[in-house]
């Protein structure tokens, strides 16, 4: 119990990181393996085209967002290359915000805003709080073996 009391920051970061990772991973998994990127492009191609967005940008954004969610989410869940994953997912959120803003300037933030807040929380807390991750374990082993 004593360890948990003095590790509450690490526990908070662990829960936030794994939760955010799961949200992104399952969204990316659905996009890549269930819905398929081709179908995503077909769904958004017309509204983006009507706003003057070239098809190649629509396709590139669909591929980027789908795979960054899948890979970045998985990396966050296990805590490997954590900051890289957070930067990748931050770029993902920006691309999604641009896409939503193009098609609907007053879009619903209910799914994006919590992810953004968790991502910012994970980027802003001290690095020492990110103790329960594979990154931390690898660094510990590297420095002590």
Residue 55 has a pLDDT of: 95
Domain ranges of the chain: 2-144
Give the pLDDT band of residue 1 (cuts 50, 70, 90): low
Mean pLDDT of the chain: 93
- Catalogue the long-range contacts made by 30-39 (C-beta closer than 8 Å, 24 or more residues apart): 31/62, 31/65, 31/66, 31/69, 31/70, 32/66, 32/67, 32/70, 37/62, 37/63, 37/66
**Tens digits of residue pLDDT in 35-52:** 999 999 999 999 999 999
**Tens digits of residue pLDDT in 81-96:** 999 999 999 999 999 9
User: Does 3 score more than 70 pLDDT?
Assistant: no
Residue 7 has a pLDDT of: 85
User: Does 129 score more than 70 pLDDT?
Assistant: yes
């Amino acid at each position: 119990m004593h360890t948990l009391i003095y590790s509450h920051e690490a526990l908070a970061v662990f829960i936030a990181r794994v939760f955010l990772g799961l949200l992104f991973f399952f969204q990316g998994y659905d996009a890549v393996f269930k819905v398929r990127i081709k179908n995503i492009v077909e769904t958004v191609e017309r509204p983006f085209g009507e706003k003057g967005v070239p098809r190649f940008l629509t396709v590139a954004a669909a591929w980027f967002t789908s795979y960054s969610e899948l890979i970045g989410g998985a990396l966050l869940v296990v805590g490997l290359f954590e900051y890289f994953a957070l930067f990748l997912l931050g770029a993902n959120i920006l691309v999604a915000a641009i896409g939503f803003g193009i098609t609907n300037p007053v879009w619903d933030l209910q799914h994006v805003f919590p992810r953004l807040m968790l991502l910012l929380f994970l980027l802003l807390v001290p690095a020492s709080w990110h103790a329960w991750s594979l990154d931390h374990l690898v660094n510990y082993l590297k420095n002590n073996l």
